[in-house]
Amino acid sequence: MDDEKFELIRQIHLNGIYAMKHVALRELRKEVRDHNTSWWDCRIGVANTALAKKLYYDKLPRFAQRFLDTIHAQELCHCRMLNSLKPSQVAERIAEFHRKALEDSFVAWLACQPLIGEKMALATAIWGQHRDDPHATLQGAISEEFHQNQALAVLVALDPPVEELKKALRYQEKLLQMLGVGEEDRVVIGANGEICTLVGWEAHMK
């Protein structure tokens, strides 16, 4: 992989980290009004992984097919895990965004749903601990970690052309804007090689 592709994939990965920080800060500040529930996994996870299989399964290498099979099965599990199927307008908007990205590009969908959405879901699980969030369970949190890590591995292994990666970044930026991710969220210690000099718990909670 050349330096240009590596930098594009690094930025795709970092955008997910920024979104994760955004959700974590909102949970810490008690600003979250609509968090992940089983409804979100039905409307976002199950619906879009099923569509991904319909649109791309036969065109993908075996390792990507296995990823889709696994993530779809786990999304089904989360959808059915808890009796928290109250509709959410936020989830509907996010599901629709991911659907449009998916219909345009499998790579763009990887960059948005697993590599931003799943990271945000994990941050909610860790910092929110909502009792109607299936990811706040041990197995649910482990699944979210699997989804995002395997998605990154699939993205690298697919070795998509530069233009597909740039398209994926454009979709990510639209999603980050829609979700309200700002400059504060883009401050991640060490992400660009700088040495951390902050001392103490509170200094690391920003």
pLDDT at 5: 96
pLDDT at 204: 85
Residues of the chain under the 70 pLDDT cut: 84-85
Question: How many domains does the structure of the chain reveal?
Answer: 1
pLDDT at 192: 81
135 close to 35: Cβ distance less than 8 angstroms = no
What residue numbers bound the domain in which 149 lies?
3-204
Q: Helices (DSSP H) in 1-117: which residue ranges? A: 3-28, 38-40, 47-56, 62-81, 89-104, 106-112
pLDDT at 84: 63
pLDDT at 190: 81
41 close to 75: Cβ distance less than 8 angstroms = yes
pLDDT at 176: 98
